[in-house]
Amino acid sequence: MMQEFQGFIDDLRSTHGSNLVSVTLYGSAAAGDFVPRQSDYNTLITLEKIGPSDLRNAHACIREWRRLGHPVPIYFTRSEIANAADVFPIEFHQMTLAHKVLYGVDVLKGLSISDKFLRLQAEYELRSKLLQLRRSYIPASQTVDGLKALMADSLSSFSALFRAVLILHGLEPPTTKHEIVGLAVKHLNIDSTPFDRIFDIRENVVNTKYDERSINELFANYLEQIEKVIDAVDKIDKN
């Protein structure tokens, strides 16, 4: 893996110099469930300080990174990481569970994450993603491939949120998307079928051929199970 990142890391070191604290890989690539052409290389770049000039100077190396098909990294200062975990409990909990330090120090080690606002953020994010899924269905429903792509792409986001749902129910979430969704489905007693089939679509496992009717039935079941997850979160004590 390091070979794929060495050029990027060298560019970052040249750009930021001693201001660069660390480069951290997080998400599916770090968790071990990376899917080519589906997953991203998500990176966290930590600096001692961040000003407009630091971001402006990073343009060249980030442009090359994007040219290779990777998303723009997240930039934080070391002090922001220590202070922002309460604001982004889902994101930072995910990072602490699955990350690899590619350069520098482990800024996530020993990070204290409060779950005080976790329920609120989980419900907000789930409802937002559900609304977006409904909106995206309108154009995607024109073709079978469009709906397959929509469900495959959205499952990654929902699985990250299911991790927070497990924490809220007092369970230690697993690392990979398959395991997270599987445990959430079992614990909440919902139908695993749509998730299993969408994972097959996402990973190009050809078990089922879909026509317009069957792909829309799959989407309807997928939507229904997500709504049940949101209901389960909504019923958690809000006080």
Nearest to 236 by CA among 88, 91, 102, 121: 121
Location of structure tokens 């599916």 = 28
pTM of the entire structure? 0.64
Question: Could you tell me the CA-to-CA distances from 60 to 45, 47, 97 in Å, in that order?
Answer: 15, 17, 31
| List of domains in the chain | 2-104 (3.30.460.10), 118-234 (1.20.120)
pLDDT in tens, the chain (239 residues): 556 789 999 999 999 999 999 999 988 777 676 666 556 788 999 999 999 999 999 999 999 999 988 899 999 999 998 887 777 777 787 788 779 999 999 999 888 766 667 888 889 999 999 999 999 999 999 999 999 999 999 998 999 899 889 988 889 888 888 999 999 999 999 999 999 999 999 988 877 789 999 999 999 999 999 999 999 998 887 54
DSSP state of 39: -
